[in-house]
Amino acid sequence: MNRIERPEQIHPETVTGDSPAAPLQDAGARALRAEIGVNGPEPVMDLRPERGLAHSVHAIKDTRDGFRLFRLGWTLGWLDIKLRYRGSMLGPFWMTLSTAIMVGAMGFLYAALFNINLRVYLPFLSFSLILWGYLNSAVSEGCSTFTGSVGLIHALRMPFSVHVLRVTIRGLLTFLHSAAVVAIVFVIFGIAPRLNWEAPAGVLLWLADMYAITLLFGVLGARFRDMPPVSASVMQILFFVTPIIWKPDLIFIGRQYLLLDPCYPLVEIVRGPLMNQEVRPSIWLAAVAYSGLLWVAAFALFSRMRTRLAYWV
Binding site for another protein (CB under 8 A): 1, 6, 9-11, 13-14, 16-17, 19-24, 29, 32-33, 35-37, 39-40, 42-50, 68-69, 71-72, 75-76, 79, 83, 86, 151-158, 223-226, 230, 307, 310-312
CA atoms of 169 and 137, how far apart (whole Å)? 11
Q: Provide the minimum distance between the beta carbon of 240 and another protein in the complex, in angstroms, as a whole number.
A: 24
Q: What's the DSSP call for residue 42?
A: P
Cβ atoms 165, 65 nearer than 8 A: no
Q: Provide the minimum distance between the beta carbon of 6 and another protein in the complex, in angstroms, as a whole number.
A: 6
Contacts of residue 31, defined as CB under 8 A and 6 or more positions apart, other chains included, come to: 7
- Which pairs from 187-195 meet CB under 8 Å and 24+ separation? 189/119, 189/122, 189/123, 191/123, 191/275, 191/276, 192/276, 193/273, 193/274, 193/275, 193/276, 194/273, 194/274, 194/276, 194/277
Q: Provide the minimum distance between the beta carbon of 248 and another protein in the complex, in angstroms, as a whole number.
A: 34
Residue 250: alpha-carbon gap to chain centroid? 32
CA atoms of 278 and 266, how far apart (whole Å)? 14
Q: What secondary structure, in 3-state letters, does 154-222 show?
A: HHCCCCCHHHHHHHHHHHHHHHHHHHHHHHHHHHHHCCCCCCCCHHHHHHHHHHHHHHHHHHHHHHHHH
Looking at the Cβ atoms of 50 and 261, the one nearer to another protein is 50
Q: At CA 83, angle to CA 79 and CA 89, rounded to 5?
A: 125
Cβ atoms 273, 193 nearer than 8 A: yes
Q: Provide the minimum distance between the beta carbon of 93 and another protein in the complex, in angstroms, as a whole number.
A: 20
Looking at the Cβ atoms of 38 and 192, the one nearer to another protein is 38
Looking at the Cβ atoms of 85 and 110, the one nearer to another protein is 85
Looking at the Cβ atoms of 10 and 241, the one nearer to another protein is 10
Q: Provide the minimum distance between the beta carbon of 49 and another protein in the complex, in angstroms, as a whole number.
A: 6
Looking at the Cβ atoms of 11 and 304, the one nearer to another protein is 11
Looking at the Cβ atoms of 87 and 281, the one nearer to another protein is 87
Q: Provide the minimum distance between the beta carbon of 307 and another protein in the complex, in angstroms, as a whole number.
A: 4
Looking at the Cβ atoms of 76 and 131, the one nearer to another protein is 76
Looking at the Cβ atoms of 41 and 254, the one nearer to another protein is 41
